[in-house]
Amino acid sequence: MSEPLIRLVDVRKSFVLRERAGRVRRTKREVLAVNGISLDVPAGQICGYIGPNGAGKSTTVKILTGILTATSGTVRVAGLDPRTRRVELTRRIGVVFGQRTQLWWDLPLADSFELLRHVYRRDLDDHRSRLSTLVEVLDLGAFLATPVRQLSLGQRMRGDLAAALLHAPDVLYLDEPTIGLDVVSKARVGEFLRRVNAEQGVTVLLTTHDLADVERLCDRLVVIDRGRVISDGTVAQIKQTFGRTRTLVVDFDESRAPVVLEGITAVRIDGPRQWLSFDRTTSAAQLIAQVMQQASVRDVSIEEPHIDDVVRQVYERAADRSLTPEETDSG
Partner 1 sequence: MVDELRLWRVLVAARVRSQWQYRTSFLLYACGSFLGALVDFVALSAIFTKVPQLGGWSFGEVAFLYGVSGLGFALASFAVASVGNLSRRVKDGTFDSLLLRPLGTITQLSAEGFALRRIGRVAQAGCVLVLSLMLLELSWTPGRVAVTTVAIACGTLVYAAVFLATAAISFWVIDGAEVGNAFTYGGNYLSNQPLDIYARWLRSFATFVIPLAFAAYLPVAWVLDKPVPAGIPADLMWAGPVVAVAALLAAQAVWQAGLHTYRSTGT
Rounded to a whole number of angstroms, the minimum distance from the CB of residue 135 to partner 1 is 20
Single-letter amino acid code for the residue at 128:
R
Q: Which of 7, 57, 62, 239 binds partner 1 (CB under 8 A)?
A: 62
Q: Decide whether 117 or 226 has the Cβ nearer to partner 1.
A: 117
3-state secondary structure (DSSP) of residue 211: helix
The contacts of residue 151 (CB under 8 Å, 6+ apart) are 109, 143, 159
Q: Which of 1, 16, 124, 183 binds partner 1 (CB under 8 A)?
A: 16
With b meaning 16 or more CB within 10 Å and e meaning fewer, what string describes 165-198? Answer: bbbebbbbbbbbbbbebeeebbebbbebbeebbe
Rounded to a whole number of angstroms, the minimum distance from the CB of residue 178 to partner 1 is 20
| Selected range binding partner 1 among 2-10, 62-70, 211-219, 280-288, rule: CB under 8 A | 62-70
> Counting beta carbons within 10 angstroms of the beta carbon of residue 261, is it exposed (0 to 12), middle (13 to 18) or buried (19 or more)?
middle
Should residue 15 be labelled a site residue for partner 1 when binding is judged by CB under 8 A? yes
Q: Which of residues 166-195 bind partner 1 (CB under 8 A)?
A: none
Q: Decide whether 67 or 319 has the Cβ nearer to partner 1.
A: 67
Q: Which of 65, 240, 241, 245 binds partner 1 (CB under 8 A)?
A: 65
| Gap between the Cα atoms of 198 and 189, Å rounded | 14
Q: Decide whether 34 or 134 has the Cβ nearer to partner 1.
A: 34
Should residue 29 be labelled a site residue for partner 1 when binding is judged by CB under 8 A? no
On whether the CB atoms of residues 238 and 221 are closer than 8 A, the answer is yes
Rounded to a whole number of angstroms, the minimum distance from the CB of residue 94 to partner 1 is 9
Q: Which of residues 67-126 bind partner 1 (CB under 8 A)?
A: 67-69, 71, 86-88, 90-91, 93, 95, 97, 100, 102, 104-107, 111, 115, 118-121
**Alpha-carbon separation of residue 266 from 43, 202, 221, 251 (angstroms):** 45, 46, 30, 13
φ/ψ (deg, to 5) at 188: -65, -45
Q: Decide whether 120 or 275 has the Cβ nearer to partner 1.
A: 120
3-state secondary structure (DSSP) of residue 274: strand
Q: Decide whether 78 or 310 has the Cβ nearer to partner 1.
A: 78
- For the sheet with 327-329, list strands across it: 72-77, 6-20, 26-41, 327-329
Rounded to a whole number of angstroms, the minimum distance from the CB of residue 173 to partner 1 is 9
Should residue 146 be labelled a site residue for partner 1 when binding is judged by CB under 8 A? no
Q: Decide whether 8 or 211 has the Cβ nearer to partner 1.
A: 8
Strand partners, 16: 30
On whether the CB atoms of residues 98 and 176 are closer than 8 A, the answer is yes
- What are the residues binding partner 1 (CB under 8 A)? 15-16, 59, 62, 65-69, 71, 86-88, 90-91, 93, 95, 97, 100, 102, 104-107, 111, 115, 118-121, 147
